[in-house]
Amino acid sequence: MKSVAMAVILGIVAWIAPSAFTSGPVSPRQKAESELLQIHLDELAAHRKTDVDAVLAHAQDQFVYVRDGKISRTDVSAMRDQMRQYFKDATYYLYEDLEPPVIRASEDGTMGWIISRVRARRSQKDATGKSNSEEFVYAGITTYEVKGGKWYQVSNASTFEPTPQ
């Protein structure tokens, strides 16, 4: 488990390091990819802390979500309500990358995406106070656009690794 986490960290460092040591100006694409990586890392931490506001820091109305063969659209208020319920009485023991995220941005640095694969282990108390454990592996893509100098989520397509029977 620790070796997987270390491999992910080393992969991220190896991905970022070359641009950190270049002497020339950073391109809009490089700047955007660095910002998107930070957004991804912040989202991982926000889940572990069950921090709704931090998870929604880059949310916007008309967010498009794809899952289970369906497309839905939602606004920030509805997302906030859903996340509050999802995090209510929840504890995350693990929420980390299984492999380095794939992060790409347009040449002009105004659009980008993050493809990630994350392992989670959490528990959540139900209405009776009983704690229910859950473990899953998520893989998906979230697309982003810049508006007024800030990154906003546009869409997400989510998949979940089937649990062994």
What CA–CA distance (Å, rounded) separates 60 from 47?
18
> pLDDT category, 163, cuts 50, 70, 90?
confident
For the 2-160 domain, the top CATH level (class) is alpha beta
The pLDDT of residue 4 is above 80: no
Rounded to the nearest angstrom, the gap between the alpha carbon of residue 100 and the centroid of all alpha carbons in its chain is 12
What CA–CA distance (Å, rounded) separates 36 from 15?
13
3-class DSSP assignment, residue 7: helix
Residue burial 93-113, b: 16+ Cβ < 10 Å; e: rest:
eebbbbebbebebeeebebbb
One-letter amino acid for residue 12 of the chain:
I
Element (H, E) at 44: helix 28-49
pLDDT digits (tens, 9 = 90+) for 116-156: 999 999 999 999 999 999 999 999 999 999 999 999 999 99
pLDDT digits (tens, 9 = 90+) for 52-73: 999 999 999 999 999 999 999 9
Residue extents of the structural domains in the chain: 2-160
What CA–CA distance (Å, rounded) separates 68 from 71?
9
Rounded to two decimals, the pTM is: 0.84
Q: Which two tokens stand for residue 104?
A: 């790409």
